[in-house]
Amino acid sequence: MMTTKLRVETGSVYSRQEAAEALGVSLSTLKRLIRKGHLKVSKPDGMRRVFITGESITAMLQNTLVERGA
């Protein structure tokens, strides 16, 4: 089964599930990235929903050090 990754648009807003799909990671990995501060999110007061901007996803990827052999 072939899946295609979601294309990240800098002006768009994504749910946790959409961001995980775009990054090719599990939802639990995405939550860990958020908890460790690698990915910035916004969560309006009184809401459970979390919003992740395309800019935040792009910034995290640009600031990630790629290790040789990883």
- pTM assigned to the model: 0.76
What pLDDT does 68 receive? 66
Q: Which residues of the chain have pLDDT under 50?
A: none
What pLDDT does 1 receive? 54
User: Looking at domain 13-62, which CATH architecture does it have?
Assistant: Orthogonal Bundle (1.10)
Q: Judge residue 67's burial from the number of C-beta atoms within 10 Å of its C-beta, 0-12 exposed, 13-18 middle, 19 or more buried.
A: exposed
Terminal CA-CA length for the chain: 25
